Amino acid sequence: DAGVIQSPRHEVTEMGQEVTLRCKPISGHDYLFWYRQTMMRGLELLIYFNNNVPIDDSGMPEDRFSAKMPNASFSTLKIQPSEPRDSAVYFCASRLGRINEQFFGPGTRLTVL
């Protein structure tokens, strides 16, 4: 079975541009998480969904960030407009049930110039 799939793997964009990151969770998993990893702040939870419904978006840094999960097999994280401080690795993870382990995608390395 395929793991969590993220695209693109690398994204370089200029300040002010819109960026969309994509995630396909493991089939059957009912939780989906978006994280951001930076050297300064480590791994931060941005938002998570349960059965496609956003449950907690308190980690989303600003209104420039938005996330959607239109169906059980697809989610997007959008940054509009992007800023250099958004440069980070963004991970998507999925989980089956409440207490089990999360499985992470390979991440998207975002560089905003």
Among 17, 27, 51, 100, binds other proteins (CB under 8 A): 100
Among 16, 17, 27, 43, binds other proteins (CB under 8 A): 43
49 near other proteins, rule: CB under 8 A: no
Residue 42: how many other CB atoms lie within 10 Å: 9
Among 42, 62, 70, 71, binds other proteins (CB under 8 A): 42
Contacting residues for 18 by C-beta, under 8 A, at least 6 apart:
78, 79, 80, 81, 82
1 near other proteins, rule: CB under 8 A: no
Applying CB under 8 A, the span of 12-20, 47-55, 67-75, 80-88 interacting with other proteins comes to 47-55
Q: Which residues on adjacent β-strands are paired with residue 22?
A: 7, 76
51 near other proteins, rule: CB under 8 A: no
Residue 84: how many other CB atoms lie within 10 Å: 10
**Cα 28 to Cα 73: distance, rounded to the nearest angstrom:** 9
Q: Longest Cα pair distance anywhere in the chain, in angstroms?
A: 39
CB-nearer residue toward other proteins: 65 or 91? 91
Rg over alpha carbons for the chain, rounded to the nearest Å, is: 13
12 near other proteins, rule: CB under 8 A: no
Return residues touching other proteins (CB under 8 A): 33, 42-43, 45, 48, 50, 55-56, 89, 91, 93, 98-107, 109
